[in-house]
Chains A and B, each alone.
Chain A
Amino acid sequence: QVRLQESGPGLVKPSETLSLTCIVSGGSITDSHWSWIRQSPGSGLEWIGNAYYSVYDGWTTRYNPSLQSRVTISLDTSKNQFSLVLKSVTAADTAVYYCARIPTSWGDYLDSWGQGALVTVSS
């Protein structure tokens, strides 16, 4: 059974870059697709973006239009992990960040989630 674990700094200064990694165990990162979602304190879920791996094309990405100019998701197949980078953060980016798995190529629903990592943006 695949397991996901987020890791990264819990505190980031305004205008700096947020970087998180999702370590995947119990399965190969090349066997599925992957997603990042966040949840601001007391709020609902916000999709950040997805990364899709193909043996033919490598990886491709799809992002939330509201974050697209600041976000990058990448895969590291050698380490079986994927990453989120969010630039120029503000207090509005304070949230619990989740990584999740997209189990099929026929729909981006999320069947396995990490426990979440709280990132606070503050000076």
Chain B
Amino acid sequence: DIQMTQSPSTLSAAVGDTVTITCRASQSIGRWLAWYQQKVGKAPKLLIYKASTLQSGVPSRFSGGGSETEFTLTISSLQPDDFATYYCQNYDRLSVFGQGTKVDVK
């Protein structure tokens, strides 16, 4: 079974910072990776799919990269609305989520 490991588990940052979250797959998944943002008490929101394709309506400060086993989500110039938990999802054949990365206020 493919495992998805995110790092760090928690990231403390300030408004205006650039932050990067990493998601590693236990085996190659091509570019079958999505990123989601979840706020407390809300459903997740799709940010990026196919590793780097920005979902319609998502601000361009979000960007995704990587392939095969290592992927990144970068938020440039962090905004107050960006403090949330972020999940990666492998959807190569079965779906597997990473354990999440909480971005909180430094």
Contacts and interface: CB of A to CB of B under 8 A. Distances in A.
B98 A109 contact: no
A37 B91 CA distance: 13
Contacts of B36: 45, 110
B71 interface: no
A110 B97 contact: no
A35 B97 CA distance: 14
Interface of B is mostly: loop
B22 interface: no
Sorting the interface of chain A by its residue count into under 10, 10 to 19, 20 to 34 or 35 or more gives 20 to 34
A47 B46 contact: no
Given A98-B43, A107-B32, A44 B50 contact: no
B21 interface: no
Interface string A83-120: 00000000000000010100000011111011110000
Contacts of B32: 107
B23 to A, nearest CB: 12
A45 B43 CA distance: 10
